[in-house]
């Protein structure tokens, strides 16, 4: 079996069986990974590779950010959900600008912000006894915010 295929299969199974809190961490990880790949595009001298690497990876990251945004419950999540929505829209705008102008600044900014959010989720899950309990705790916290 092809090792790349095995890894994709493992990721698919992990995504299908992971608790909600862990899925959020996985989404942040994926967006960060795509943006780091986009930054590698700035090293290419070939214009086609340069543009395709940046564009394709930024778009993939934006799709993940859009998924995170779409999953927000503004009623139960209150101010926290509204703040996250604004942050997701800001990052999407930064990435659109960076992609259009082929500048790395907005990509780096999004990586920094996503890493902060990812680390906060990871810490919250660890503090509250794992992904299942952490997700339930987050839902309760978000509903009371």
Q: Would you list the DSSP string of 87-113?
A: HHHHHHHHHHHHHHHT-SHHHHHHHHH
Closest CA to 71 of 110, 28, 111: 28
- Residue given tokens 């989404």 in the structure block: 27
Instruction: Give the pair of three-digit tokens for residue 46.
Output: 């070939």
> What confidence tens digit (pLDDT) does each residue in 91-105 have?
999 999 999 999 999
* Rounded CA Rg of the chain: 17
Q: Indicate the number of domains in the chain.
A: 1
Tell me the three state secondary structure of residue 40: helix
Residue 7 domain-assigned (yes or no): no
Instruction: Give the pair of three-digit tokens for residue 127.
Output: 């503090």
More confident of the two residues 15 and 39: 39
Cβ atoms of residues 21 and 131 within 8 Å: yes
Residue 100 domain-assigned (yes or no): yes
When pLDDT is cut at 50, 70 and 90, the band that residue 128 belongs to is confident
Residue 6 domain-assigned (yes or no): no
DSSP state of 130: S
Give the CATH number for residue 112.
Answer: 1.20.120.340
pTM metric for this prediction: 0.78
Residue 123 domain-assigned (yes or no): yes
Residue 109 domain-assigned (yes or no): yes
Model pLDDT, residue 138:
43
Residue 62 domain-assigned (yes or no): yes
Residue 3 domain-assigned (yes or no): no
Closest CA to 85 of 69, 67, 64: 69
Least confident of 41-50, 68-77, 87-96, 126-135: 126-135
Residue 29 domain-assigned (yes or no): yes
**What range does the domain containing 122 cover?**
20-144
């Amino acid at each position: 079996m092809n090792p790349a295929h095995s890894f994709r299969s493992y990721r698919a199974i992990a995504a299908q069986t992971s608790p909600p809190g862990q899925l959020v961490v996985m989404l942040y990880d994926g967006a960060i990974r795509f943006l780091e790949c986009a930054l590698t595009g700035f090293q290419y001298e070939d214009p086609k590779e340069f543009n395709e690497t940046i564009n394709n990876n930024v778009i993939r990251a934006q799709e993940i950010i859009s998924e995170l945004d779409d999953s927000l419950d503004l009623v139960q999540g209150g101010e926290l959900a509204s703040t996250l929505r604004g942050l997701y829209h800001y990052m999407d705008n930064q990435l659109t600008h960076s992609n259009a102008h082929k500048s790395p600044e907005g990509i780096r900014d999004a990586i920094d912000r996503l890493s902060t959010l990812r680390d906060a989720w990871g810490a919250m899950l660890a503090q509250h006894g794992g992904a299942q309990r952490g997700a339930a705790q987050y839902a309760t916290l978000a509903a009371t915010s």
